[in-house]
Amino acid sequence: MRIVIAEDSALLREGLSQILTRFGHNVRAAGDGAGLLATVAEQVPDVVVTDVRMPPGFRDEGLRAALELRRRHAGLPVLVLSQYVEQTYATELVETGAGVGYLLKNRVGDVTEFVDALERVAGGGTIIDPDVIRQLLSRRRAQAPLERLTAREREVLALMAEGRSNAAVARRLDISQAAVAKHINNIFTKLSLPPTADDHRRVLAVLAYLRA
């Protein structure tokens, strides 16, 4: 099986390469997201193993490269191996279909199990660490209330997040201030933000929007 590894840690990259070679696989390696894209372009492998955070920004370069590879090569199996859960792109990757895995480094305790998981992903399986699933589900639950908003209510909330007053929102959307007030009240209701003496509902609504 042809495997491309993307890992910025030289020690881990070399260790994974030796392990997979010992199991009879043909391995090539890259140290960053750009290198991963270039290596795969030379010869499309059977499966890709990538970390999430890699040079130059050490944020989500590996995961974004994996998504780009799934767009360029439909169905290319990808196994993310990282100590981080990058929720936005992780959700997007899982939603691309079969042949996807996401394992946490500190929870991979057996070499044989890891190689087996990689081979299953290469064969079109989906393997997600339970901790990753819990975090992704938690994010979905946090987003759920926003999904109840209408398109107009989301527009109003987006302008509220920009710090616009009701009058400014009305001018921007070419509606009356009474309509804006009605939309805001609907937003408060759908986000479960009842009036209280201790909380500023407008701020809480904006925070819910920004978190999502």
> Is the model's pLDDT at 72 over the cut of 60?
yes
CA dihedral sign, ordered 136, 139, 145, 148:
negative
Tell me the average pLDDT of the chain.
88
Q: Give the pLDDT confidence score for residue 28 in this predicted structure.
A: 96
Mean pLDDT, residues 118-133 taken together: 87
Mean pLDDT, residues 184-199 taken together: 82
Mean pLDDT, residues 186-198 taken together: 83
> Is the model's pLDDT at 30 over the cut of 90?
yes
Domain spans, the chain: 2-140, 148-211
- Exposed, middle or buried, 47 (CB in 10 Å: 0-12/13-18/19+)? buried
- Looking at 3.30.930.10, 2.40.128.20, 1.10.1740.10, 1.10.10.10, the CATH number of the domain 148-211 comes to 1.10.10.10
| DSSP sequence for 41-104 | HHS--SEEEE-SS-TTTTSSHHHHHHHHHHHHSTT--EEEEES---HHHHHHHHTT-SSEEEEE
Tens-digit pLDDT profile for residues 132-190: 877 776 666 656 677 788 889 989 998 888 788 899 999 999 999 999 999 999 999 98
Tokens matching residue 113: 């199990």
Q: Give the pLDDT confidence score for residue 137 in this predicted structure.
A: 63
Sheet containing 47-50, strands listed edge to edge, beginning at the edge strand earlier in sequence? 26-30, 2-6, 47-50, 78-82, 100-104, 126-128
Integer Cα distance of 147 and 191 in angstroms: 10
Quick one: CATH architecture of 2-140? 3-Layer(aba) Sandwich (3.40)
Q: Give the pLDDT confidence score for residue 134 in this predicted structure.
A: 76
Tell me the pLDDT band of 2, cut-offs 50, 70 and 90. very high
Distant-in-sequence, close-in-space partners of 159: CB < 8 Å, separation ≥ 6? 168, 169, 172, 173
Q: Give the pLDDT confidence score for residue 50 in this predicted structure.
A: 96
Q: Give the pLDDT confidence score for residue 139 in this predicted structure.
A: 64
Tens-digit pLDDT profile for residues 75-116: 899 999 998 887 777 878 887 888 999 999 988 888 998 999
